[in-house]
Structures are given as C-alpha cells and as structure tokens.
Structure 1
Amino acid sequence: MTPKEIEVSVIIPTLNEEETIGICIEKVKRVFEKYNINGEIIVSDSSNDNTPIIARSMGAIVVTPDRRGYGYAYRYAFRYAKGKYIVIGDGDDTYDFSEIPKLLEPLIRGEADLVIGSRFKGRIEKGAMPLHHRYIGNPLLTFFLNLFFKAGISDAHSGFRAIRRDVLEKLELKSDGMEFASEMIVEACRKNLKIKEVPINYYRRKNPTSKLRSFQDGWRHMKFMLLNTPDFLFIYPGITIFLVGIILMLSAFFKIFIGYLPGAHSIIAGSLLITTGYQVTFFGSFAKLKAGKTLPKFLTLEKGATLGMITFLSGVVYALILITRWIDSNFEHLPAIEESILAFTLIALGLQTYFSAFMLSMIAERT
C-alpha cells in the first residue's frame, strides 16, 4: 500500500464542540494506531468557538460547509473523503470512537454495505437519552421506517455508522437536516444494499445542552419518510377511505343492516368518502410517477378517459331518469335522496377519472 492510499475516513460534524472534539479525535487516532490503519479524520465544522483550532492542532482535516445543517455537513465533507471505508459519528463524545473496529468488521468481511451502531442493542448510559426519545420518539420513528421500507433495524437514528465509499457514491443523498439519518437508510433499502447492526455504547453529553429539537426534528424524519412512500401516504389510505364509503353507500341504498340501519346521512357520508378516497388514490399514482416509477400497462390514457366518460354518462343518464320521474309526477314527488346522491356520485367519479387520466399521462410523459 502506498502512503497516499487511505483506508478509513472518519467524518465528524461539529457545531461548538470545543469541550469534546479533542477526546473524539484522540480516540480515532488510537484506533488507527492500534489496528495499523492508514486513515484520516475530517471535521466538518460550523462552529464559532475553538473547535476548528483544536481539530487542526490534532492533525484533523477541517472543512467548513457553506451553510448549516446536520445532513449538509456530512454531504459537504463526503467530497473530501479518500478512504475505502467511511465512518461517521458526532463530535460530542456520546458515541465511542474506540468502537470503530466493530463497525468496520462487517464491511471488511463483505457481510454488509452499511453498518449501523445500534444503541438499543448495546448499552445506553443513564441520562444519555431523554426518556421520550428512548421509549417514544426513536422506537416510533424506527417502527415506521421499518414498516414503510422494510429496513429491519432497531435504531434508525443512530449517528454512528460505517459505509463503503463505492456504496456511498450510489446513494442519492439530498437532505440537509436531521432527516439525513433516515434518508441514508431509505436510500440503502431502495438500492437493495445489505444493512447490518452492531451493538454500541451510548454516553451522556459532556455539555448538557443538546442541539436536538425533539418535535421539529422528529417531524422532519416523519415528513421525509411519508414523502418517499406514496403507497402509505396516499394509496393505502385512499383505498381504505374509498371502501368504507362504498360500504356505507351500498348499505344505505339497499337497506342493509351493518350494526345499525343506514339512512340518508350515511349515504351522504359514503358519497363524500368515496370521492375523497378515489382522488387520494389518484394522488398516490401521481406521486409514484413523479418518483420515476411506472404504473401497470393496462392503465392507459385511452382506457382511463373512456372509463371516466362511461361513468360520467351513467350518472347523467341516471340523473335524467330521476328528473323525468319528478316531471311525470307533476313536480310533486322528488326522487329519493339515496338515488340522487348515487347519480351525483357517479358523475363526480366519472369526471375525476377522466381528468386524472390526462394528468397521469402528462406526468408520465415528463418523467
């Protein structure tokens, strides 16, 4: 191996970590020395204290991102990394950089493309993680990430990770904020990469003031996941709403007992749910196309527009029949409310289908 070949790049984002950055760098250097690793330490710094001065004095490469953000600090630093393996971890000494070999081992053995240090499989020091993070926030967000993307992990928001450089270059990472942690896993799942967790220790911050904003950062993670899963955001809820509406409308129209005997109010609610659920499902189709996915071949503009027009005309014809009956009764007997709502629902569904078919076609042609 030539002197210029770097095996491991350790990237540490910092924002005023002068109390702990020296400890982190010293631990990394000890690992390099103990395991004879030719490595580099890159500090991606946005501090206004002595953090960058300390880091440079200890031999780290200090880069200064042109804007702030947890995710952006990493993305900015990645362009400077030369190592075959890249390790990332916070500069507040909550993660123990002495455990770097545990992260690298699965990569070196070819057992994984991305390794995550799991705090929940390891040991969390008392007071290191707020109770609402430990028992509500992290588990809940990890649950949804596993549900949406089948990641199969226990700690989606661990900031102590290792990844092969060639794999990192395949990930389309764009996030600037804390949702970067979720984005990395989502991208790894999309690329069918092998993800492995190893147990790690997690320690209390030396500086008790955390930079995390629980609700804001939690929402950023959740928003990112929802925006990247049209099925769970639109299609599954849309289909569910649509089916509930169908049940309500049909049971009211045919006087079917469903725990109670539905009437006019139920058929109104059913109509609203049907049209809402139907449109939400179309939103999911729009989102899938925008994300570069393809729809089934049978969903063509011609078939969609034709189906929409048939449904629309069926509603119009039915409405005309009801109007004719009303006229024949010398305007004395209005049509049953159930029949009128059914006609208007068919008209609305027909129009939705017709125009949505054109919208799908427009999006498909531009993606």
Structure 2
Amino acid sequence: MPTLNEEEGIAKCIEMILNALDAMDITGEIVVSDSSTDRTPEIAEAMGARVVTPDKGGYGYAYQYAFDRTRGEYIAIGDADCTYDFEELPKLFDLVRNGDADMAMGSRLEGEILPGSMPPLHQHVGNPLLTKFLNVFYGAGVSDAHSGMRVMSREALESLDLKTTGMEFASEMIMEAGARDLTIAEVPITYHPREGEATLESFQDGWRHVKFMLQNAPGYLFSAPGLAMSGFGGVVMTLAFVNASVGPMRFGSHSLLAGTLLLVLGVYLTYLGVFASVASNPIRKPKDPVTTFLSETVSLERGAFAGVALFALGGVYMGVQAFQWAASGFSNLPLTPENVVAFALMVVGVQMVFGLFLVDAVKQSNHH
C-alpha cells in the first residue's frame, strides 16, 4: 500500500488484510510504502506491517519502490484509505493462484459503489471513458481499468516494464499487461467512502492518464488519423481534378485545395507515427501496413529516391509554368488544377525525403 498521510484509515486496512490472510490460510507480508508526515508509519509498524520509505515522490514510484522489496510469490496492491475492502482479496487471489489469470482486478463499476464513495463525474464519465480508451488502444478487455485493488503473480509483475512514477502508473500496468497478452480477469467488488482527505486531482490526473495512453499508442495518435486524412484528401483531389460530381455536390477548385491540404497534413501525421514508433519504443507500436512498411521495410535510399521522383515530377511541371510566366512578361496566369497537384507532389516528395532521413538517423542512434 502506498501511503501519504493515511493515519485515519491505515489501521482498518491492515486489519482487513490480516483477516484476508487468515481466510486464505496463507502466510503473507504487508508492505507500506510511506511518504507521510503524520502517524501513518508508526501505526502501520505497530500493527506488524513493514514500512519502507521511498527516496522520491509519486504514486507510481511508491509502488515500484515497494515491489522491489517484496518477497511473496503473489503481489496484492490497494489504497490505504479504506475505499477497498481487503477482505474481498481471496476471490481475486484464487483466480491468480488457480492459473485462471495473470492479474486479477476488483471491478467497482461492475460491483457496488456505495453513496459518497466516488464523484458522479468519475463514476459516469471519467472512469468509463478512460477504460474505453485502454480497451480500444491496448486490448485490455476490462470494465474498470483504474481500480486500485489488484492481485498478480510475481512472474507477471516482473514481465511488465513499468516506468511511470505518477498516477498514470495505474494505466501503465494495464497497458503493459494488454500489450504482452497477459490474462486479466475481474471480479465485482464494493467501493466504500474513503477515510481521510483525498489527494486525487480529477482533471490533472485524468489528463495525465489520457496523455500517457496516447503517447504510447502512436498508431492511434498519428498513423490512423494520418492515413485517414491522406486517403480522404487524395480521393477529394482526384474528384476535383476530373471535375466530378456526386449527386448535387460538385467538386471544384475549393475542393481541390481542401483535398491537397488534407493529403499533405495526412502524410505529415503518418511520418510522425513512423518517427514515434522508432524513437520512443511505445508500449503499443503501430501495426498498420503503411507505418510498418515505412519504419521496418523501406530503405532510406529507395524511399528517398521515390520522394525525389515525386518532387521532380511536380517540379518539372512547375518549371514549365515558370518559363511560360516569364515569357508572358510575368503577367497573371490562371491557377489550374495541374498547378495544385504539382505543388502537392513537390511537398509530399520533400516530406518523404527528409522524413525518412530523420527516421533512419533515429534508427542508427538506437543501434549505437
């Protein structure tokens, strides 16, 4: 249990844990990772817990500091504010001990949330939305991704590459487990009103969770929007270039410019996805064929050659236009669809060349 001034609830939590250990008829230890300025550590030690003091702050760091000092074959975690009834631990523990799950979680949203236990904004918006993100991005398949009551085997815990030190640690654990195809099971639990003062900052901590999830899923943050934008932009450009119509809609010069902008932005976002996948070693790497091809298959030389070819194709046409402009005494020339397409080819060509150089430089840096 990580603790930060939990003197009002720590004794009751330890008592519930001791009752759970008796009910399971197993030997265990209670490790309190404490950063308190009140009597929390003294109360915990008096009740038989082992208190460790992290040398840095942060919710996630407190857990990681404690993990390194635990000795059990199985690890159970939870908050020390009496919101979780640790006497419900046996039903989570049995799932892991029997091999039915690598990690078992207590689901508050599938269980019972007692009045005054969770703000309505958290219960009906924040937690369901963050859980949805985790399920879509990382295939977690859970109903309550931010429940703090969890049991896992030591083997499962050690397979996770946990790095975060703040509140997003709760998300990282599920993201890592989902990315590594660990089996996560849930059981309904009862969530109780907390003892003591809350330290959670709803919007700030919620944003940290969302930001961390997106940063570690560049396929959803960059590649998917980029491919969608470039594909849609290419279709709009084509329809506008041939002056096509769909029902009452006619695609003209404005559609051509809009399609060009979407295409260029889409290619840019796609390359950001490629760069993020090779530079940051995200938990969930993009798996779409375009990003995979650009980051793992295509060589710098071939990609750069293709980019130069696109730039040259557009550049030759624009060179002819420039010559005609000069020959006409620099008079006004009409903006034709061919001009816009040529500009688009030149911009995309430049993006390909310099984008692949950047990706290759990062790859070489990683190898060294």
Shared fold, TM over 0.5: yes
Matched, 1:216 2:215: no
- Report SS of the residue matched to 2:250: coil
- Report SS of the residue matched to 2:245: coil
Matched, 1:228 2:227: no
Q: Give CA deviations for 1:245-264 in whole Å, capped at 9, x if unaligned.
A: 22332232221224532333
Q: Give CA deviations for 1:224-253 in whole Å, capped at 9, x if unaligned.
A: 110111100100011111123223322322
- Report SS of the residue matched to 2:143: coil
Moved more, 66-75 or 264-273: 264-273
* Kept in 2: contact 1:315–1:344 (CA 8 A): yes
Q: Give CA deviations for 1:279-336 in whole Å, capped at 9, x if unaligned.
A: 1100101111124569435411121011001000001111123234445555556143
One-letter code of the match for 1:283?
L
Q: What is the TM-score with the length of structure 1 in the denominator?
A: 0.92
Q: Percent identity?
A: 48
RMSD: 1.7
**Which structure 2 residues correspond to residues 27-106 of structure 1 after superposition, within 5 A?**
27-106=16-95
- Could you say which residue in structure 2 is the equivalent of 1:243? 231
- Could you say which residue in structure 2 is the equivalent of 1:16? 5
Moved more, 143-152 or 252-261: 252-261
Question: In the aligned structure 1, how far is the partner of 2:280 from the partner of 2:212?
Answer: 14
Paired residues in the alignment total 355
- Could you say which residue in structure 2 is the equivalent of 1:357? 356
* Kept in 1: contact 2:111–2:188 (CA 8 A): yes
Question: In the aligned structure 2, how far is the partner of 1:217 from the partner of 1:85?
Answer: 28
- Could you say which residue in structure 2 is the equivalent of 1:3? none
- Could you say which residue in structure 1 is the equivalent of 2:117? 128
Moved more, 262-271 or 279-288: 262-271
- Could you say which residue in structure 2 is the equivalent of 1:162? 151
Structure 1: which 5+ runs fail to align?
Answer: 1-11
Q: What is the TM-score with the length of structure 2 in the denominator?
A: 0.92
Question: In the aligned structure 1, how far is the partner of 2:277 from the partner of 2:301?
Answer: 20
- Could you say which residue in structure 1 is the equivalent of 2:299? 300
Displacement, 1:67?
1.9
Structure 2: which 5+ runs fail to align?
Answer: 286-290
Moved more, 32-41 or 333-342: 333-342
* Kept in 1: contact 2:10–2:43 (CA 8 A): yes
- Could you say which residue in structure 1 is the equivalent of 2:190? 201
Displacement, 1:267?
2.3
One-letter code of the match for 2:260?
S
One-letter code of the match for 2:142?
I
Q: Give CA deviations for 1:59-101 in whole Å, capped at 9, x if unaligned.
A: 1001111122111110011111000000000000000000110
* Kept in 2: contact 1:14–1:90 (CA 8 A): yes
One-letter code of the match for 1:247?
V
Divergent runs of 4+, >4 A: 291-294, 327-333
One-letter code of the match for 1:75?
Q
* Kept in 1: contact 2:17–2:86 (CA 8 A): yes
- Report SS of the residue matched to 1:282: helix
- Report SS of the residue matched to 2:61: helix
- Could you say which residue in structure 1 is the equivalent of 2:99? 110
* Kept in 2: contact 1:289–1:295 (CA 8 A): no
One-letter code of the match for 1:169?
E
Question: In the aligned structure 2, how far is the partner of 1:196 from the partner of 1:289?
Answer: 32
Question: In the aligned structure 2, how far is the partner of 1:153 from the partner of 1:366?
Answer: 37
- Report SS of the residue matched to 1:197: strand
